[in-house]
Amino acid sequence: MIKARITVTLKNGVLDPQGKAIEHALSGLGFDGVGAVRQGKVFDVELAESDKAKAEADLNAMCDKLLANTVIENYSVTLT
Amino acid sequence: MIKARITVTLKNGVLDPQGKAIEHALSGLGFDGVGAVRQGKVFDVELAESDKAKAEADLNAMCDKLLANTVIENYSVTLT
């Protein structure tokens, strides 16, 4: 069994209102010097597969088809 | 300036309906052998701070106070 972590983040230049809201909330809580905050998603996936190369190809396909919107998001796959 | 990535994931045993939905969607798309899927959040934070220890303490405090619900979520902070 292979475990993987997929991280999906917004591309640079794409507006992130959720991140902005967090920025303001952190300032409001008294944390000074907080610059840009960007929020993304993380998926921990378990695969019943022993071939690492095959697993990685599958995971990339999953991101392209379902997990990430590649118009506005980047993704990275790491096997853990 | 310090950049950090905060990863917030659900604790083991906490139900994750969103992850379950993704599991089913992936099976429906023809990906076989997908086991558990768990979804979490990731925050990329920029701090105007040069002291790494201070930054890490601040980031942990941010997680405790705002970014994570420590009753049901774990978080990890990595400086990048």
ipTM: 0.91
Using a CB-CB cut-off of 8 Å, the residues of chain A touching B7 are 42
* CATH code of B71's domain: 3.30.1280.10
The answer, yes or no, to whether residue B7 has pLDDT greater than 90, is yes
Give the tens place of pLDDT for each residue, A9-18.
999 999 999 9
* Residues whose CB falls within 8 Å of the CB of residue B24, separated by 6 or more in sequence, listed in order: none
**Chain A nearest CA to B29, separation (Å):** 8
| CA–CA dist A65, A63 (Å, integer) | 6
Give the tens place of pLDDT for each residue, B11-55.
999 999 999 999 999 999 999 889 999 999 999 999 998 999 999
The per-residue pLDDT for B5 is 97
Within 10-69 of A, beta carbons closer than 8 Å to B belong to 19, 22, 25-26, 29, 31-49, 58, 61-62, 65-67
Give the tens place of pLDDT for each residue, A32-80.
889 999 999 999 999 998 999 999 999 999 999 999 999 999 999 999 8
Nearest CA in chain A to B35: A46
**Chain B nearest CA to A4, separation (Å):** 10
The per-residue pLDDT for A49 is 87
Q: How many domains does chain B fold into?
A: 1
Using a CB-CB cut-off of 8 Å, the residues of chain A touching B1 are 35
The per-residue pLDDT for A59 is 96
State the first-to-last Cα distance of chain A, in angstroms, to the nearest integer.
Answer: 11
Q: What are the C-alpha distances in Å from B44 to residues A38, A61, B12, B15, B68?
A: 5, 25, 24, 25, 14
Q: What domain range is B50 assigned to?
A: 2-79
The answer, yes or no, to whether residue B59 has pLDDT greater than 90, is yes
**Chain A nearest CA to B13, separation (Å):** 14
